[in-house]
Amino acid sequence: MAKKVFKAYHQGQLMLLPPSLEEMIEANHPARVVNQIINQIDIAPLEKKYKGGGTSSYHPRMLLKVLVYAYLTNTYSSRKIEAALKENIHFMWLSGMSKPDHNTINRFRSDRLQDVLKQVFSQVVLLLVDHGLIDLKEAYLDGTKMEANANRYTFVWGKAIRTSKERIRRQIDELWQYARQVAAEELSDTEPLEFAQISPEKVQQTIEEIDQALKDKPVDKKVKQKLQYARKNWPKNLERYEQQEQQLGSRNNMSKSDPDASFMRMKEDHMKNGQLKPGYNLQLSTQHQFILNYTLHQSSTDTATLPAHMDSYRELFDQMPEVLTADAGYGSEENYHYLEQNRVEAFVKYNYFHLEQKGGHRRNPFSQTYLHYNVQLDCYYCPMGQPMTLCGKRQRKTDNGYLQTNHLYQAQNCRGCPMRGGCHKQQGNRIIEVNHRLRKYKEMARERLLSELGILHRKKRPAEVEAVFGCIKHNKGFRRFMLKGLRKVAVETGLLAIAHNLSKMAN
């Protein structure tokens, strides 16, 4: 039998020189990239967040390196980061053997990095430009919904608040009328109450007046019960409604446990029931799969997010990309106009662009898209060849305050037309609503999208932002924010974005 040979194993062996962590980190390890890049960042805005005095603090550069490396290695929990700082040589090397606990890590992430991380992120992007990896001239834009760290079932709906307020208004009015009947004498000097705008104070005061008037009077038992309930609940509820309405702003819903999060339909539906979940709309622009900018929005539609995202891009880099490619979700008049004003060449699709390109698809001859427009006479021709003349205009403001003008054209006489059944279901003569500005923008967009360059950008688009979303959600397993509130969630997004860029740089 051959002799068994084992390698020497002396666990307690003393070393002449202690091992250096530096030597243990491989030359091209991502931890080295994090170290090298964060060392070059100006952290003055971050340092300003420290008041000074008191006990010494852990160095913000060290904590920043630790957090970026944690997000790069899919370690998002502060307790896991605390553990890694004691067990993982890469974390230990980055922290210089400092061992901040999870509270310190959390405070740094939630408070200190708030509102300053974006500046750090922009410096990282500019370093990528210096390395020749990107040039900021081309950007691909897309969005995804990211679940918030909030209860999935506690909705607050703006409409429900309005209904509840209206119910209180109606009921207090009824109580007031009852009191006037029962205690006409006591309330004879009192001004008739107006409940058009109810407030907690006014409701409180009215209940007290009714109480006073009905004292010692034979009062219906049900009214007594209602008054008791009103006294206990209505002022308190109205205060809550006012606060919730403030938090809602222009949104129509929010989550109770994270009031900044809105309920949205998510692509990743683990319950597979199409139920709305609280989340944020994350918008990313990328180039060569490096993240150039990130913004978070509370509205679930991508269309309205483009101007804010691009404004933030300009704020970060003092320039706009020369070219922007985005999918049909962004093809609105407001966005085309915004990009034109900012001299950005837009390869942005619009609704039905793909359908238009499908040679074989059956065109609906009655569709407004295929009606002929005579520019000189400013009229359309309906499928029967009747001129449809201008009969009015309609204006609409978008959520961002952009004013759109639609022109209305009406057919002369639809009565008895053999095509009526297939043509329209309106009462009277058919009216179509046309946005001429959007029509022209679409024509320009179509020309650009079908050009050689347009085809190239369209081919590249799915491999740009969508690949980055795939990387964040599937490779990095980040599908739900850990923190609550828009500003804190923005910190997490910033850390993810920096970590993504550095890990790509390291590869």
Shorter beta-carbon distance to ligand SF4: residue 127 or 423: 423
User: What is the nearest approach in angstroms of ligand SF4 to the Cβ of residue 411?
Assistant: 4
Residue located via tokens 């944690």? 70
Give the C-alpha separation, 271 to 275, whole Å: 8
CB atoms within 10 A of CB 154: 13
b/e string for 472-488 if b means 16 or more Cβ within 10 A?
bbeebebebbebbbbeb
Shorter beta-carbon distance to ligand SF4: residue 81 or 382: 382
Compute, in degrees rounded to 10, the torsion defined by CA atoms 16, 22, 23, 25.
140
Q: In this structure, what token pair is assigned to residue 96?
A: 């210089």
Give the C-alpha separation, 387 to 372, whole Å: 10
User: What is the nearest approach in angstroms of ligand SF4 to the Cβ of residue 388?
Assistant: 7
Shorter beta-carbon distance to ligand SF4: residue 91 or 380: 380
Whether the CB-CB separation of 257 and 150 falls below 8 Å is answered with yes
Shorter beta-carbon distance to ligand SF4: residue 127 or 417: 417
User: What is the nearest approach in angstroms of ligand SF4 to the Cβ of residue 416?
Assistant: 9
Whether the CB-CB separation of 351 and 331 falls below 8 Å is answered with yes
Shorter beta-carbon distance to ligand SF4: residue 430 or 461: 430
Shorter beta-carbon distance to ligand SF4: residue 382 or 489: 382
DSSP element (H, E) containing 283: strand 277-287
Give the C-alpha separation, 183 to 212, whole Å: 10
Whether the CB-CB separation of 76 and 482 falls below 8 Å is answered with yes
Q: What phi, psi does 425 have (nearest 5°)?
A: -120, 15
User: What is the nearest approach in angstroms of ligand SF4 to the Cβ of residue 384?
Assistant: 4
User: What is the nearest approach in angstroms of ligand SF4 to the Cβ of residue 424?
Assistant: 6
Whether the CB-CB separation of 117 and 491 falls below 8 Å is answered with yes
User: What is the nearest approach in angstroms of ligand SF4 to the Cβ of residue 379?
Assistant: 12
Q: In this structure, what token pair is assigned to residue 89?
A: 């040589």
Shorter beta-carbon distance to ligand SF4: residue 365 or 477: 365
User: What is the nearest approach in angstroms of ligand SF4 to the Cβ of residue 431?
Assistant: 9
User: What is the nearest approach in angstroms of ligand SF4 to the Cβ of residue 439?
Assistant: 19
Residues 6+ apart with CB under 8 A from 106: 78
DSSP codes of every residue in 309-352: HHHHHHHHHSS--SEEEE-GGG--HHHHHHHHHTT-EEEE--TT
User: What is the nearest approach in angstroms of ligand SF4 to the Cβ of residue 266?
Assistant: 41
Residues 6+ apart with CB under 8 A from 273: none
Shorter beta-carbon distance to ligand SF4: residue 60 or 383: 383
Give the C-alpha separation, 92 to 449, whole Å: 51
User: What is the nearest approach in angstroms of ligand SF4 to the Cβ of residue 363?
Assistant: 15
Give the C-alpha separation, 369 to 273, whole Å: 35
Applying CB under 6 A, which residues contact ligand SF4? 382-384, 386, 411, 414, 417, 419-420, 423-424, 430
Q: Helix 158-182 and helix 200-214: axis angle, to 10°?
A: 20
Shorter beta-carbon distance to ligand SF4: residue 382 or 465: 382
Shorter beta-carbon distance to ligand SF4: residue 193 or 423: 423
User: What is the nearest approach in angstroms of ligand SF4 to the Cβ of residue 373?
Assistant: 14
Shorter beta-carbon distance to ligand SF4: residue 417 or 434: 417
User: What is the nearest approach in angstroms of ligand SF4 to the Cβ of residue 408?
Assistant: 14
Shorter beta-carbon distance to ligand SF4: residue 150 or 414: 414
Give the C-alpha separation, 193 to 117, whole Å: 53
Compute the half-sphere exposure of residue 302: CA atoms within 13 Å on the CB side of its CA.
19
Residue located via tokens 């009191």? 179
Whether the CB-CB separation of 409 and 379 falls below 8 Å is answered with yes
